[in-house]
Structure 1
Amino acid sequence: MDQEVYGRYINYLQKYHKIKENHLSWYLHWVKKYINYWNNDKNYLKDDSIRRYFQFLADRYEPWQVEQAAAAIRLFVHYMNKMENSAKLQKPGNWPEVLDKMKSELRVQSKSYRTEKTYLYWVRDFSRWRNPKNPDQLGSDDVRAYLTHLSINRNISFATQKQAFIALLFLFRHVLNIEINGLESVVRARVNRKLPVVLSPSEISGILQYVPEEYRLMCRIIYGGGLRLSECLELRVKDVDIDGGSIIIRSGKGNKDRLTLLSRSVIPDLQKHIVKVRQLYESDRLEKLPGVPLPFALQKKYPQASTEWNWFWIFPSPRFSVCPRTNQPGRFHVFPSTLQHAFHEALRKSGIPKKAGIHTLRHSFATHLIEAGYDIRTVQELLGHSNLSTTMIYTHVATKNKLSVISPMDKMDI
């Protein structure tokens, strides 16, 4: 393989997939091993060749190494197919074609189902707004006008406008192959600096006493480790280290893994819960029911893993459902709205006059650690924030650090 091809592949990873500098060598390492394995066989880009190589890796390497190799090879094959077809490639001529191609591209890049739904929502909205203009007639002016329209006519927030922009950026870069520039004149939505709502420990206790037992454990784990709702619900048996008092968050926001806390006070109830979950798992295996869905390409590489105990959910749904992506039945985790509803109902019963939700437990975790004097960098790592500035917001709501300040009113004899 020509070294120039590898160089262009590296540029592709940096420009379109934002792969970090220190990870590029590993991507190149696995791609070169893959190319050498097939010895420049012309069929190395075929699905069957990829599948056979993954099976070869599965018999010789650890699962995390196979996942790393899969990410590199998947993007390399996608890149090569894109380059080979570029000469004869035609831009999608209508919006249904665009949406199908975008859906495929999102899955190649291992975007979450939630991200897929969000991006497709904004692209559909953009297509309706730009109707009857065809996709191949679009340009930077259309994006600029649409984002300005969202800000002025719909009065959306800065975060929502940014979300719409990122979705359209993906559309133009990866589907339409058009670079968009000159967005400086876009009317920006107003940035509202809102402080997060935080609950005190006594308020959390007051709410949790009204949360049904089957959901209370989830709330305690979220507050005890600063998890996001989806991170808690997507926990698998292998992610929880009871002896070490820790939880591994797999493919969290930004597709990053991290280590966080498992509260010691939660462990006895968690162990009892896992015993009940094991019974459900054994029942599924006895009845030869489908297993749990696996992330990304693991289902192809490890066909039996979906029925293994290590991959089973910590919080499985009591009912089977169908995966919206594959249309395959399986045992999924508890649905997010179920826990959200239970928490909101408990908040109402508690009489606590705060606008709180499940995510408030994560805010409270961070704030209480800062109030206890823990280093801001440590809190950042536990939360999985990319930027320290995101974590710094909690210093503004940490009240105990401000208690040494005495009001000037208290010095007056009135």
Structure 2
Amino acid sequence: MSAFIESVRAALRTKRYSLQTEKSYLAWIRSFIRFHDLKHPTDLFNEEIEQFLSHLAMNRQVSAATQNQALCALIFMYKHVVKREITGLKYSFTKKPRRMPTVLDVQEVSTIIGFMKGKYRLIAALLYGSGLRINEALRLRIKDIDFTNKTVFVFRGKGGKDRYTLLPQKLVEPIKQQIEVSKKVHKRDLEDGFGLTSLPPSLIRKYGNAAKDTAWQYLFTSSTRCEHPHDGYVCRHHIHQTAFRKNLRTAVVASGINKRVTAHTFRHSFATQLLLGGTDIRTVQDLLGHSDVRTTEIYTHVIGSRFSGTASPLDNLAY
């Protein structure tokens, strides 16, 4: 069965899927095969797919998004590897419930960031100050910071879109200090005969030794070198999301703030604070990298601008 899994991996890489998607899809496909006692997918049809999806919903009680991801993985496998279209399934993609994002006020942000230290504090400040997603912040390279124009360049954000966003003045010096840390790490790598940064698949053949340039190094470099998962060369990647999440969780607990705070909460808070400060919604849309302004409009609901000037009837009641 490992040969089949490798054929799925090859198809994913041919289609230029991200490494994270590759890992997720392969995990779901392995789970599907194990659920059916290691039968080959060519011998499994709609009924078996429906049984697996029912198992996820009923026994494992996964979320709608997780169930959709599993279905996407199976559809990809059958379409591109088994070469069979999946039609007539009793299951369709589950609609995710629309939830209002959790946001923090200025004092809450200040308190949480105050309990964070070092590079993790700087990452949190970038999430809030520039409206970055966590993976966008971790993938920043030295060349992406423009101190002259006070901008941060986001390369291939969600949906593969490039964009510029704000570089807060307060972060200029901390980022310069972090760049010096990355330069020192890079210098040691070069002295050890390495120095290549991690690049998207196949770009190493385009850039070659240019990938050793300081400008290409990650702002938040990993503490260890690794083998590139696609191209096999030894490189240095950025720090992992889990390291930041652990530090953030510790800070939230220490702050005593009773909200569910994730890395993305800082991005939500960035958007709401801009709108509260009078920034027009189109500008906020561009800074966040949203394709549709309707996605950005959810923040107007969060801050209650739709109800501006509307008094509750209870406030007029004498009791």
Q: Same fold (TM over 0.5)?
A: yes
Greater relative CO, 1 or 2 (CA 8 Å, sep 6+): 2
**Contact in 2 for aligned 1:156/1:189 (Cα 8 Å):** no
CA–CA distance in structure 2, aligned partners of residues 129 and 250 of structure 1 = 39
Q: 1:137 aligns with which of 43, 60, 71?
A: 43
Q: 1:335 aligns with which of 216, 227, 240?
A: 240
How far 1:195 moved relative to its partner?
1.6
How far 1:376 moved relative to its partner?
3.0
CA-to-partner distance for each residue in 1:352-405, whole Å, 9 max, x for gaps?
A: 111102111111112222333333333233222334443333222124664522
Aligned match of 1:280: 185
SS of 1:363's equivalent? Answer: helix
CA–CA distance in structure 2, aligned partners of residues 278 and 153 of structure 1 = 50
CA–CA distance in structure 2, aligned partners of residues 402 and 221 of structure 1 = 31
How far 1:231 moved relative to its partner?
0.9
**Contact in 2 for aligned 1:147/1:187 (Cα 8 Å):** no
Aligned match of 1:118: 24
The amino acid that maps onto 1:217 is L
Aligned match of 1:368: 273
CA–CA distance in structure 1, aligned partners of residues 71 and 204 of structure 2 = 33
Aligned match of 2:215: 310
Which structure has the larger Rg? 1
How far 1:291 moved relative to its partner?
1.7
SS of 1:304's equivalent? Answer: helix
Aligned match of 2:291: 386
How far 1:330 moved relative to its partner?
2.1
CA RMSD of aligned residues (A): 2.2
User: Which shows bigger deviation, 399-408 or 257-266?
Assistant: 399-408
CA–CA distance in structure 2, aligned partners of residues 399 and 245 of structure 1 = 31
Give the alignment of 1:3-402 within 5 angstroms: 95-183=1-89, 185-186=90-91, 189=94, 191-399=96-304, 402=307
CA-to-partner distance for each residue in 1:312-364, whole Å, 9 max, x for gaps?
A: 11111233233344554322211211111111111111111111021111111
SS of 1:405's equivalent? Answer: coil
CA–CA distance in structure 2, aligned partners of residues 290 and 396 of structure 1 = 48
Q: Would you say how many aligned residue pairs link Structure 1 and Structure 2?
A: 319
**Contact in 1 for aligned 2:152/2:164 (Cα 8 Å):** yes
SS of 1:331's equivalent? Answer: strand
**Contact in 2 for aligned 1:293/1:330 (Cα 8 Å):** yes
How far 1:132 moved relative to its partner?
4.6
Aligned match of 1:67: none
CA–CA distance in structure 1, aligned partners of residues 232 and 294 of structure 2 = 41
Residue ranges of structure 1 left out of the alignment (5+ in a row): 1-94
Distance 1:358 1:410, change over 3 A: same
Kindly, what percent of the aligned residue pairs are identical? Answer: 36
The amino acid that maps onto 1:257 is D
CA-to-partner distance for each residue in 1:245-271, whole Å, 9 max, x for gaps?
A: 222211222222222222222112212
CA–CA distance in structure 2, aligned partners of residues 333 and 319 of structure 1 = 9
Aligned match of 1:48: none
**Contact in 2 for aligned 1:151/1:189 (Cα 8 Å):** no
**Contact in 1 for aligned 2:194/2:234 (Cα 8 Å):** no
SS of 2:258's equivalent? Answer: coil
SS of 1:254's equivalent? Answer: helix
CA-to-partner distance for each residue in 1:277-308, whole Å, 9 max, x for gaps?
A: 22332333233234211112111122202211
Residue ranges of structure 2 left out of the alignment (5+ in a row): none
The amino acid that maps onto 1:368 is Q
SS of 2:159's equivalent? Answer: coil
Distance 1:189 1:117, change over 3 A: same
CA-to-partner distance for each residue in 1:73-132, whole Å, 9 max, x for gaps?
A: xxxxxxxxxxxxxxxxxxxxxx32221011111122222211111111111111122335
TM (norm. structure 2) is: 0.91
CA–CA distance in structure 2, aligned partners of residues 314 and 228 of structure 1 = 15
Distance 1:317 1:247, change over 3 A: same
How far 1:139 moved relative to its partner?
3.3
How far 1:202 moved relative to its partner?
0.9
The amino acid that maps onto 1:193 is R
How far 1:187 moved relative to its partner?
6.9
